[in-house]
Structure 1
Amino acid sequence: MQKMQKAVIAALLGLVLTGCASGGPSPEALAPADPAATTQTRALFHFLRRQMGRGILFGHQHETTQGLTIDTTDGTQSDTDNAVGDFAAVYGWDTLSIVAPKIEGDITEQAIKAYERGGIITISTHLDNPLTEAQKGTFPTGTSWDTTPAVEAALPGGEAHEVYTGYLDQLAQWALNLRAEDGTAIPVIYRVLHENTGSWFWWGADQSTPEQYKALYRFTVDYLRGEKGVHNFLYAYSPNAFWPATEAAYEERYPGDQWVDVLAFDAYGPASDNADWFQNVQDNAALVVRMAEARGKIAAIAEIGIRAPDIEAGQYDNRWYRKLLEALKSDEQARKVAYLLVWRNAPEGVDGGKPHYWVPTTLPHDRERGTLEDFRAFYQDDFTLFNSDLPEVYN
């Protein structure tokens, strides 16, 4: 309750300060990229902007649909809640639950429950390679990790354009049908073609020029909000963390302010000897905050955690969450990121993969290692916000 009261006061104070601040974007610029965004979507945009510097919202991918300590995936349980007695503030899912064949399972009802709980929803992108899909029968298999260059082919006039718009049609149908019990269209932060500065996806740096990538990002946003009438999306741009973190590096593939609401980045690092990595996270967080403030946008860390090979090898850092929070809080710019999100908790065999978990659990190994204690200390800090700490976000 004390954390919630502080969050409400901070949000109200932020409203006052936003109205009184001098310099920066004009009041007219402080609006979502979609001029026709719904009332609730605009409310989410303004809440997250006001939140910057007044506490960091904690997010978790597949918060209520995958886990190691839950016995149902109907949206009522989570490893986070079992560990600290509260749900994440930001619930992450993916197009893998929306676009056929929905290999991560439909999440519509769980997303509705998250919204009605007062939480915030974000969707990331793992669309199959549209060129490989258009040329069925060719190798490789056509997942997001099929690095056959396909960005140019997905653009209007390209060989894979119809396949790509078919993916977007399914996403749009889901968005338009995602409604609360009272009929309200539920707002979603849609993270478009993320980690594009790496080269492990078909839209990556080795698979497209900066201009090709920017054109596909812009087309995606324009198609969803213009052609399909989706007005309950905020749009996030999220490359990988840069070494070093410079505005020039970030802007190379940045699609432009007309198509972006959230400036973010993704960062994974080692389980040990990670001081330099945490410093780099701080540098990138400060960078996106500076850029977001100058543009009237939201800054966030869209994905963060210990890198997957270390997790799979059983490596850990029992002060990881406290180190992360210290790195962010100790810099006057970095501390202003609105939210951060860690990846999913999934047992071995889910989607054919190895066990993954980024939220420490109540299981014996996390108690013995001290990782549960670390996560609980992160939760108890007044600067972190979980679901029950949120004021009325959509009002």
Structure 2
Amino acid sequence: MLMGSCKSLKKVNTVSIRTTKPRKISPEAQNLYKRLQETTKKGYAFGHQDATAYGIGWKNDGTLFKTDVHEITGQHPAVHGFDIGHLELEWEYNLDTVPFALIQDQIKKIHQKGGIVTVSWHASNPISGEDSWNRRGKPIKKLLPGRRLHRTYKTWLATIASFFNDIKDDQGRPIPIIFRPFHEMNKPWFWWGKGKCSADEYKMLWRETVDLLTHEFSVDQLLFAYSPDAFDNREAYLEYYPGDDVVDILGMDLYQHWTAKSFSKNLNDGLKVIAQLGKEKQKLYALTESGLEKVRISDWWTKVIDQQLAHSGITWALFWRNARKSHHFVSYPGHKSATDFMHLAQKDYVLFLDDIVPIEVSSEAQ
């Protein structure tokens, strides 16, 4: 289900959890969700962050449709991730120096080719003006309705709304996108993360974000994904969960920082939790961000990733960006893991762009 019922206002720990009006969800966004449901029946879609924007040894000048994944496998990712951090400051480039005009253009091309797009938001700290990792102050409190920076936040969202609403297909319809704001909130590295706000304050900001985008700024083509980092159990996963009516996809972020054994256990345990919650809530679930920096284990794709994801029921798995040889998360030509990556790509349940193009659904709204 995409929408839950509108809940009444309640008071928890002195923080008012905002009542969100029932969401209007565009026919295109509803069709995207149905397409994701059909995709899950066939396997999981392989995703890569900034896949067409740059790779190892190349950068898109606006004339290319190229990916490191294609250079190895002959296939492009099915899911493409982009980030809009610094858009709120009205910069020309995002935090990874990708022009926003290029992002918009690439989203149009990906959609036209049958791909799926997910967008994260590494928003700047509104108190310090620095990046997402700057934890000065307690910004979320200041962004809430009636507080000092709420007007600033509305300005940010107006800019973001304009960005999304300008991304249209050939028929002039806004392209549906999976939006994943304020991710990894259960860890202490972002200004919206653990220790910088209460769970109820986080929920209130999320609901305010959905409400403003949907009703004040007429953005109805987004599906919202909720994605904590590693968690111990379902209670921990749901600690910051803002409500079924404002979350469409259950996600989890998890990187391998230490041993493959510990990563595999954490991934397996986490997937079991979101699979059960997905069943209970009738929602899709995904590995929304993952990777092993420099893919330093030559058979990581088949011996670690495939072992955990093959029959997990996830809709997609997105691996982080290929910025440079010292910071990349997907194999590229000549990499020691390239052959193993090719073996993963040959699995019939690992879906790339050409695999999901035939997956079509009715254009009628549900």
TM range (shorter): 0.7 to 0.9
Once the two structures are superposed, what CA deviation does each residue of 1:164-208 show, in whole Å capped at 9, x if it has no partner? 222211110011111012212100000020010011111001100
Aligned Cα root-mean-square deviation (Å): 1.8
Q: Identity of counterpart residues, as a percentage?
A: 30
| Greater Cα offset, 385-394 or 122-131 | 385-394
Matches of 2:297 and 2:61 in 1, distance apart? 28
Q: Is the 8 A contact 1:58 1:339 kept in 2?
A: yes
> Which of 106, 111, 115 is 1:110 aligned to?
106
> Which of 357, 362, 369 is 2:328 aligned to?
357
Matches of 1:296 and 1:35 in 2, distance apart? 17
Q: Is the 8 A contact 1:62 1:93 kept in 2?
A: yes
Go from structure 1 to structure 2 and tell me whether the alpha carbon gap of 1:97 and 1:382 turns closer, same or farther (over 3 Å shift). Answer: farther
Matches of 1:194 and 1:318 in 2, distance apart? 29
Q: Which residue of 2 aligns with 1:38?
A: 26
Is residue 2:325 matched to residue 1:339? Answer: no
Kindly report which structure 2 residues correspond to 1:316-331, keeping only aligned pairs within 5 A, or say none: 316-322=296-302, 323-329=304-310
Matches of 1:112 and 1:97 in 2, distance apart? 21
1:52 match: secondary structure: helix
Is residue 2:136 matched to residue 1:156? Answer: no
Is residue 2:244 matched to residue 1:264? Answer: no
Q: Which residue of 2 aligns with 1:179?
A: 168
Q: Which residue of 2 aligns with 1:374?
A: 340
> Which of 121, 126, 141 is 1:130 aligned to?
126
Q: Is the 8 A contact 2:228 2:252 kept in 1?
A: yes
Q: Letter of the 1:94 partner, please give it.
A: D
How many corresponding residue pairs? 334
Matches of 1:179 and 1:156 in 2, distance apart? 31
Cα distance, 1:35 vs structure 2: 4.0
> Which of 111, 124, 145 is 2:133 aligned to?
145
| Ranges of 4+ aligned residues in structure 1 off by more than 6 Å | none
Q: Letter of the 1:388 partner, please give it.
A: D
TM-score, structure 2 normalization: 0.87
Cα distance, 1:71 vs structure 2: 5.2
Q: Is the 8 A contact 2:2 2:245 kept in 1?
A: no
1:96 match: secondary structure: coil
Structure 2: unaligned runs, 5 residues or longer: 5-21
Once the two structures are superposed, what CA deviation does each residue of 1:250-290 show, in whole Å capped at 9, x if it has no partner? 1111101011001001001136x311211210111121121
Matches of 1:145 and 1:112 in 2, distance apart? 30
| Greater Cα offset, 376-385 or 175-184 | 175-184
> Which of 212, 221, 227 is 1:238 aligned to?
227
Q: Which residue of 2 aligns with 1:20?
A: none
> Which of 342, 349, 365 is 1:383 aligned to?
349
Cα distance, 1:97 vs structure 2: 6.7
Is residue 2:27 matched to residue 1:50? Answer: no
Cα distance, 1:225 vs structure 2: 0.6
2:154 match: secondary structure: helix
2:55 match: secondary structure: coil
Structure 1: unaligned runs, 5 residues or longer: 1-29, 134-141, 349-354
Kindly report which structure 2 residues correspond to 1:268-283, keeping only aligned pairs within 5 A, or say none: 268-270=255-257, 273-283=259-269
TM-score, structure 1 normalization: 0.81
Q: Letter of the 1:152 partner, please give it.
A: K
